[in-house]
Chains A and B, each alone.
Chain A
Amino acid sequence: MSLWVDKYRPTDSSKLDYHKEDAAKLKNLAQSDDFPHMLVYGPPGAGKQTRITCLLADMFGTGVHRMRIHYITFTTPSNKKMEITTVASSYHIEVNPSDSGIYDRLVVMEVLKSIAALRQPDDAGKRPFKVVVLTEVDRLTRDAQQALRRTMEKYSASCRLILCCNSISKVIPAIRSRCLNIRVAAPTEEEISRIVMNVFREERITLPADLAKKIAHQSNRNLRRALLMAEATKVKQYPFPAGATPVIADWEQYLDTTARMIAERQDAPRLLEIRSRLYELLSHCIPATLIMNGLVKKLLENCPDNTLKAEIISQAAIYEHRLQQGNKAIYHLEAFVAKFMSLYKRFIEENTMDMDF
């Protein structure tokens, strides 16, 4: 059974539903003989990967959709065998080098080298190069990014890079300046609800318009999540009763409750409870940055005062930065929670004192 997310994924640029102007530009680019390295960035679920695949399809034809999984093994200097998973067609290869942790530099270099070394089987002389898609470039270490910078110059004759990331603020300027930067903005809620309605129509399932709106709202402008949510909701209860609510992933509900608990009471025992909940989230492999983002958003909703909000955001920025620098996420998440508690508690106390006078 194919999921709706995969089933209704556009396969070429003409089928893209939104940002059509940008899509047309990309199509033009694909028609030209050559194209530059690209850095595609945007929030998750905005359609970066889809757009990349569409672009590749425009360039190489439908052959890019025949993909299979490749395992590339290589040995590290310390003689450790590493295996990374790649998805490849005969025209391109997708790699996520940041999965390899501290060996990401090696992955970048090895993969690029091996692909560049392979002479392209001249498939009707379409393109003289192969395309390497690197995902999550923003999670690469600085070392790896430097290596990537050198490598992309060295092998530019035989391969093109399409880098994909959420935020270019974590990509070094040297790479940014070597690529054509393409921003894929998240679809608006209207666009999402339209797409969800379309999918339901294709599936011949009636969907109340308000539920589509709710899904679009809950998905946080993440199209992938919206479609998954829609399908999960359908699996849970169909036909939809009046006032049906979309199914939300457990971890998000859990995070919501956690944020509520933080705002409820601010003391040391509560911090201990929060910690065990953070552990629970982390142990479900929810990335620490997502937890941080979610917490900040929810906490700000409960925040009554603008100066306090500004203070919290600046603190969140500090601890988010530490999350990147440090090793153990729990320390920084907890430090942020403690900071919030302390700020919030002081604020509440001051305000209640003002009221008394």
Chain B
Amino acid sequence: MENNIVIKVSDLEKIYDETAVPVHALRGVDLEIRRGEFTAIVGPSGSGKTTLLNIIGGLDRPTAGKVEVDGNDIANLSDNQLIDFRKKHIGFVFQSYNLIPVLTAKENVEFVMLLQKRSKAERDSRTRELMEAVGLADRMQNRPSELSGGQQQRVAVARALAPKPAFILADEPTANLDSKSTANLLDMMARLNKEENITFVFSTHDQRVIDRARRVVTLEDGKVLSDHSRE
């Protein structure tokens, strides 16, 4: 994709018509995100942030428009093709309950690599590397219930990074965290972004996240209201 563009959406429309009154969630969104960006998608509730993130992440399908991720048009992939695509190209961090409760932190991180049938040696070294990167090398054998909310989100980031995805989508990752945990998580993400050039895209209400983002895209009523970059 030209100019290191990892995400490109053109004229994106999404209408939810399961209800009596159809909801027009996205109305012709155009957006390009380049490799290494640290982007926050903001806007009031119902503005279409989560819908946009879900479509970019291949979790939902657009009603109209084009979605290219890492050079691939994903709008027409089958369900299983989309699952395989997500597994290889996209890392997810959700708002909460991100981890599989019966697996340890280490097992959660290596889970996607297991699905990709990576060798044990590769899984072990990558998991250790990532757990060290998120500052939790000493909590590898703990289960999610034995970790704080902030630690769980850091493990979720490590898991999202495990398959070396093109970018990470984080949907309100700090919504349930206290100030200190939020600061720690954002510090860690910013460092990974800066040092390893990992692309992060957030949807958020959280001003602390918005303040740290280098690009802020504001949505309102399903349209891009503003798009500011700052260095």
- The answer to whether A and B interact is no
**Which A positions have Cβ atoms within 8 angstroms of B?**
none
